[in-house]
Amino acid sequence: MTPISLGIHGGAGRLGRHILALALEDARFSLGTVMVREGSAAQGQDVGVLAGVKPVGLLAAADLRDLLDCDVVIDVSSPAAGAKLATFLARHGQAKLVTGTTGWNKAEDQILSEAAARIALLRTGNFSLGVTALVRQVRENAARLGQAWGVHIHDIHHSAKKGCPLWHSINAGPGSIPGLGKRYKPALPVGGGGLAGHTQSR
């Protein structure tokens, strides 16, 4: 079977490095390009070193055009960078896009929707099976509770975390959790990133 050519957008971040390390160990994938932010310390570094293993002869890049030969691109960057990537890939009609980036605003949401009309695009607020199971439980339990019950969500992370994946997975609004109605109270995510999701440092 021919390996899937994989591009990683946001390869210098915590999750990006983890995905990179897994991809290097999995024969089903071949690394096509690992993208990092223009001017970052990771630009030009061997991606094996970024992943914490031995050099593999592929250097981290910052030019989106390097992703065009990939079969699939995984995006774990930032909303602004992810929206730019989605627009670029849709314009060229090339790679399929999987994005786990959170914190999108309405304008960036619209950009993703437009890109999805032109390329295969999968979006998730969290890759964790545990969080996915939790979100399902919240939705099911919310539907069973009476209107007298209030709902509060607390999302706590390490100080280096940007954004609040659980908050974004549930999407912090009654429209995304059937049964909550007016009982929903804004989440109180606690972390250190300062991105959308009302992240606070402690």
Q: Check if 161 is active-site.
A: yes
Neighbouring C-alpha atoms within 13 Å toward the C-beta of 160: 3
Catalytically annotated residue among 161, 162, 185, 198: 161
Catalytically annotated residue among 18, 92, 157, 198: 157
How many C-beta neighbours within 10 Å does residue 17 have?
20
Q: How many helices (H) and strands (E) does the chain have?
A: 6, 7
Structural domains of the chain, ranges and CATH numbers in brackets: 4-123 (3.40.50.720), 130-190 (no CATH)
Q: Whole-prediction pTM value?
A: 0.75
C-alpha 27: how far from chain center: 23
Residue-level pLDDT, tens digit, the chain, 202 residues? 899 999 999 999 988 999 999 999 999 999 999 999 999 999 999 999 999 999 999 999 999 999 999 999 999 999 999 999 999 999 997 779 999 888 888 999 999 999 999 999 999 877 778 877 877 887 788 778 767 776 666 666 666 666 655 555 555 444 455 555 455 454 544 444 444 444 443 3
